[in-house]
Amino acid sequence: MQGSSASGVTFAVSARGLTKAFGNVRAVDGIDLDVPKGMIFAILGPNGAGKTTLMRMLATLTLPDAGTATIMGHDLSSDPHAVRGSIAMTGQFASLDEDLTGRENLVLLARLWGFRSRAAKQRADELLAAFELTDAAQRQVRTYSGGMHRRLDIAASLIVTPGVLFLDEPTTGLDPKARQGVWRLIRALADAGVTILLTTQYLDEADQLAARIAVIDHGKKIAEGTSRELKAATGSGFLHVTLADPEQLAQATALLEAVLQSSVQRSVEGAVLSIRAGTPKQATDALQALMAAHVELTDFTMGQPSLDEVFFALTAGPKETRPGSAS
């Protein structure tokens, strides 16, 4: 299950040149994608990058303007009905009937799949038990918490085990505990053999879950690989320093950039500066320069770039340094 170009691997999803424009905006602009069976594959990108549109095309909800795709061997444009029979999709917004109870929602969907009344109820109860929703089964979905919503939504996608499960931003809007719960659920599903294609704007989510990551921005795929490959492509070592006094931010940034000949990235929440440092020697030089200028540090570490840094390097950096996206 390593490289997507390895021969003999059958792909759960294989797309070529998928394109969709809304007016003048090319939401998805010629994306190729190969998702091997049984893998958790993440599509990473900021808001508006085209992730959801890409997902909706693959799930037969939006017609592509151009391009082709096969899902579990079924052609997207010529046989969407067969595609629908082998996928399940959990969208960004809970696709549940808020007025009905959790159990009624699952029974409704099981009946639509063709289960007879009794089998449908049995399937609903199995799913409710596995997702720890038995106690809430008879309550209207509008009373559920965010985490319960999401669990029921995922359960609703598993009435019949899908060949590919599409999860569009599965943890957006969840609190950290519920988020952990959904992560464990996704891993357990993958362990049970379900191919999962998920979109996320959270780098740590892609890093934690996915065996492969495709980074997309402005409708184009700008990189693809394992999280290790993406990090390696950005640069070997990164120096992270935490300033004691945020007032010295500008001074420290100027010094680091002068010594290391690279650009500094500042953490969103505060005074952590990260910059590429080719070797430990160069990093030491930079730290000495900070000491000499009386910039006080509370912490420093040397390590691999975080996916954040990879992402910013890919989306904001010069195009020629982007790792090859063809595979």
Interacting residues with another protein (CB under 8 A): 56, 59-63, 81-82, 84-85, 87-89, 91-101, 104, 108-109, 111-116, 119, 123, 126-127, 130-132, 140, 156, 158-161, 181, 184-185, 187-189, 191-194
CB of 134 to another protein, least distance (A): 13
CA angle 95, 153, 169 (to 5 degrees): 80
CB of 162 to another protein, least distance (A): 9
Residues with Cβ within 8 Å of residue 318, at least 6 apart in sequence:
none
Nearest to another protein of 178, 283 (CB atom): 178
Nearest to another protein of 81, 281 (CB atom): 81
Nearest to another protein of 150, 240 (CB atom): 150
Nearest to another protein of 77, 284 (CB atom): 77
CA atoms within 13 A on the CB side of 240: 14
DSSP assignment of 219-236: TEEEEEE-HHHHHHHH-S
Nearest to another protein of 93, 316 (CB atom): 93
Nearest to another protein of 158, 314 (CB atom): 158
Q: Which residues share a beta bridge with 212?
A: 41
- Spacing of C-alpha 55 from chain mean position: 12
Nearest to another protein of 2, 161 (CB atom): 161
Structure tokens at 302: 């040397």
CA atoms within 13 A on the CB side of 239: 28
CB of 181 to another protein, least distance (A): 5
CB of 61 to another protein, least distance (A): 6
Structure tokens at 324: 């090859």
Which parts of 187-312 are beta strand (E)?
195-200, 212-217, 220-225, 238-243, 265-266, 272-276, 297-303
Instruction: Work out the burial of residue 294: count CB atoms within 10 Å of its CB; fewer than 13 is exposed, 13-18 middle, 19 or more buried.
Output: exposed
Nearest to another protein of 156, 310 (CB atom): 156
Phi-psi region of 67 (alpha: psi -120 to 50; beta: other; left: phi over 0): left
CB of 91 to another protein, least distance (A): 4
CB of 173 to another protein, least distance (A): 13
* Amino acid present at 34: D
CB of 27 to another protein, least distance (A): 15
CA distances from 138 to 103, 124, 160, 237 (A): 6, 12, 22, 54
CB of 111 to another protein, least distance (A): 4
Nearest Cα residue to 49 out of 311, 323, 321: 311
